[in-house]
Structure 1
Amino acid sequence: MTDTSDEIPETVATYLRLRGLAPSARSFKRRKRRAVDEENIPFSAGRDPKGISDVLGDLTRQAGWEPQLAREDVVRAWAEVAGAETAERTRPVAFSESTLTIQADSTAWAKQLQLMRAHILSEIVRRFPEAGVETIRFIGPDVPSWKWGHRTIPGRGPRDTYG
């Protein structure tokens, strides 16, 4: 009888015979070498645990959420960007494309902010470049309109009796 280390097990020999392959001891002993997988080697750079902020940062970058989150940061940090006193009298109300709309408590505050537009815009761009704010629009307080509704009439309406 031959040496058992060179002998092919009967099950493997039967399988090879049925498949039409000639059994040989050499083909049985040959094994595939695994390619080195750098990602799954213990203690490699890819295996280090990441902090939750890194994981969420990667997620927002991959999902394309950065501009929207930066716009939310502008609203959240409005008091820091515009100043505490200004933030008490104003509030961001809308983003449309690259325009930030700020509503003031009075028309005087809206006019004052128009004069400060360049400073506020540069501060927003410096702190939040991902937000994509290119222009700022300042509006006064909302006032009721006499022009809309089911009882409107053309012309000046009820105010024409004052003069």
Structure 2
Amino acid sequence: MSAPGDNHPQGRDLAKAALQAAKDRAAARGTEPGVRRPGVPRSTAARGTAQHPRRRRWSGPGFDERDPQPFSRLMSSMATQLGWSARLANGRVFGQWTRLVGSEVAEHAQPVALNDGELTVRASSTAWATQLRLLQRQLLARIAAGVGHGVVTRMRIQGPTAPSWRKGPRHVPGRGPRDTYG
């Protein structure tokens, strides 16, 4: 604290000095504080400066894009903007396969590839491959209901793969060891 004889203003005197300095600056600019300038909205006339129109507007009780958004909505709009929607739909087919086709079918069939709307599915046996071919229409409808129409338009069902006789880096063309099986 300073002594009463000092020339440093304190408390009330400091506030009066700050107000007088603001009035002097306003007079130097040619404006008086508290006087509304034409063309300036009422809320900014008291401050003497026009506020940027996109800055600090309060949202009302209704929806506003500046309100906090659910994470899923933000990710969905981001995926649409970046063009990831098709790839994400393809990924959902593989990620939700059991839920889309049912646990019994998923136990015996696995998706292998999805290219241009054609889903390649590998069955665990030839009997299941035949069963999947018969259920193909129903499976396509269930997949479309789960991930959206147009993601999978047709299915190619493959049976189990046969063992490969190609062993090693060199291979001789022809039937190979299969011709000795009588």
TM-score (norm 2): 0.64
Q: Please tell me the root mean square deviation across aligned C-alpha atoms, in Å.
A: 3.1
Tell me, yes or no, if the aligned pair for 2:124 and 2:159 is still in contact at 8 Å: yes
Equivalenced residues, count:
143
Opposite residue 58 of structure 2, the aligned amino acid is: P
TM-score (norm 1): 0.71
Alignment of 1:1-163 (within 5 A): 9=28, 33=40, 34=50, 37=53, 40-44=56-60, 45-129=64-148, 132-146=151-165, 150-163=169-182
Opposite residue 122 of structure 2, the aligned amino acid is: Q
Opposite residue 98 of structure 1, the aligned amino acid is: G
Any gaps of 5 or more consecutive residues in structure 2?
Answer: 1-22, 41-49
Q: Greater helix percent: which structure? A: 1
Q: Against the structure 1 CA distance between its residues 154 and 54, is the aligned structure 2 distance closer, same or farther, given a 3 Å change threshold?
A: closer
Q: Against the structure 1 CA distance between its residues 155 and 60, is the aligned structure 2 distance closer, same or farther, given a 3 Å change threshold?
A: same
Opposite residue 93 of structure 2, the aligned amino acid is: V
- Which structure has the higher relative contact order (CA within 8 Å, separation 6+)? 1
Any gaps of 5 or more consecutive residues in structure 1?
Answer: 13-24
Q: Percent same amino acid among aligned pairs? A: 36
- The Cα shift of 1:38 comes to 6.3
